[in-house]
Amino acid sequence: MPPSAKDRISALGHQLAPSSASTTSLPAITKVAGPSAAPRVAGKVVIITGTNSPLGIGRAAAHQFAENGARALYLCDFDGTHLDAHAAEIRAAHPAVEVHVRRFDAAEEQAVRDVVAHAVTTYGRLDVFFANAGIVGPMALFTDVTEADFMQMMRTNVLSVFLAAKHAAPAMQLTSSAKPQAGGSIIGTASVAGIRSNAGTTPYSAAKAAVISVAQTTSYQLAGTGVRVNAICPGLIETGMTADVYEAARARGTEKRIGQLNPLKRGGHADEIARVALFLGSDESSYVNGQAWAVDGGLSAGHPYSSVYVHAIRCRALRLLDPLQQALLPQAVVEASGLAEVIVPVLEHGVGPAYRQLREPPRAFLVAPCLCLCLCLCLCLCLCLCLATGLMHVGLVFVRIEGAAGKKVADANVPILLQKRPARDL
C-alpha cells in the first residue's frame, strides 16, 4: 500500500482540522488509472451531494468530473467542514472548472430545488446529478431499531435520491443555446446491501434497495425524455465509513485479508466508484438506463457462505457473550476484513460485504465431535478384546498327553482353541 493511502486513512481517523481553503492537509486520492485520453464530460454541469468526506466517493467523483472537462461543479453536503478545502483543491488543479459550494440537507426539498434552479439559471443547463449523500445508522437488530432511526435512514438515503430525480429530471429536459438537446444522467449511490441480504443492517439494506427501485421505476417514467437514471452499488470500499476496518487491519498486519470474500481478493478504492459515476454521467453510457451497477469485486456474483452475521449482531448488540463465547468468536467469525474484533465498527458504519465464515470451523468447535469419535473407537476396541477373550475361554479344554507307547507321560492343563476333532483325541 503506497504511503499516500496510509496517510489518507490516518488523516480521517484523526479527523482533519477544519480549514476554509487550505489543501495541504487533504489526503491524496488513490488513483487506479491514468487520465482519460480526452475529456469525457466536456462542458457539462454537475451536481454532487455527499462531498465533504476527505476519503469519500463524492470528493473522488468531483475530481474525476473536473479532470474530464466539466464546466461547473456543485459540491454539496450537510456537513461543510471540508467543502471549502475541496473546492480550493479543484480550482487550483483545474482553473477552468467553476466550483460552487452548497451546504444543505440533501433530503430537504427546497434546498434541492434551489441548487438545481441555480445551475439552470447560471448555465442554462443541468447534465449530471450524482445523489451520493447517505448515512449508515446505528448497529442493531431490526427488533431493536426505533421508528425514528428507521425513518431517518429512509429520509437521508432514499428521499435524497428521490428529490434529486424529481427536480433534476425536469431541468435536464430543458434546452437552450448551451444545450440544444434534452437529456441528462441521474445517479444514486446504493450498495451491495441493496442487492443481497446479510451485507448491512436491516434499515440500511432496505434503504439501499429502495434507491435501486427509485432508479428503475423513474427510468421508465422518464421514457423518451433522454434522461437516464442508474444506481451504483459499491462493495467494501476504502472510505471514511470503513476507516476503522482498514486501520484495525493495518495495526494487526492483516490488511491483505480485506476483501477476501470477492474474487479480486481486495477492497476497493473511492476512485474506482468515482470512475463508474463518471462513465454513467458521460455520453459513453448513453444506452445504460435503469440499472444497478455492482462495483464490488465480484462479491454479488456468487452464492453466500454460511453466515454468522445475525448472531454476531445479537451477541454484540445485546452484550450476551460470555467469556467463552468472546474467546471463540474471533476464531469463528472471519468477515471481509479478516478481523472479528472490528465487526462492530463495520456494522456501525453499515458497509462492507456479508460477514461470513471463510474457513473450516475452528478447533474449539471440533472438540466435541473428536471426543465422540475417540469414545466410539475405544468402545469398538473393548468389544473386540472381549470377544477374543471370550472365544479363548470357550475353547479351553484339558487334555491328557500320552506318550507314544500308550503310557501316561504327564498331566498338563493346556488351553487350545476349540475345534472339531475326533472323539478319540479327547
Which residues are catalytic, by number? 204
Q: How far apart are CA 247 and CA 253, in angstroms?
A: 10
Q: How many CB atoms lie within 10 A of CB 307?
A: 16
Q: By C-alpha distance, which of 56, 55, 50, 57 is closest to 79?
A: 50
Q: At what angle do helices 57-67 and 270-281 cross, to 10 degrees?
A: 50
Q: How far apart are CA 130 and CA 230, in angstroms?
A: 10
Query: How is residue 303 annotated by DSSP?
Result: P
SS3 300: helix
The answer to whether the beta carbons of residues 258 and 338 sit under 8 Å apart is yes
Determine phi and psi for 312, rounding to 5 degrees: -65, -40
**Residue found by looking up cell 457473550 in the block:** 321
The answer to whether the beta carbons of residues 207 and 157 sit under 8 Å apart is yes
Q: How far apart are CA 397 and CA 294, in angstroms?
A: 83
Q: What is the DSSP secondary-structure string of 177-244?
A: SS--S--EEEEEE--GGGTSSSSS-HHHHHHHHHHHHHHHHHHHHTTTSSEEEEEEEE-SEESGGGHH
Determine phi and psi for 190, rounding to 5 degrees: -105, -135
The answer to whether the beta carbons of residues 419 and 392 sit under 8 Å apart is no
Q: How far apart are CA 384 and CA 241, in angstroms?
A: 63
The answer to whether the beta carbons of residues 97 and 71 sit under 8 Å apart is yes
The amino acid at residue 140 is A
Q: How far apart are CA 281 and CA 147, in angstroms?
A: 35
Determine phi and psi for 186, rounding to 5 degrees: -110, 130
Q: By C-alpha distance, which of 147, 295, 304, 158 is closest to 233?
A: 295
The number of CA neighbours under 13 Å toward the Cβ of 403 is 5
The amino acid at residue 269 is H
Q: How many CB atoms lie within 10 A of CB 64?
A: 26
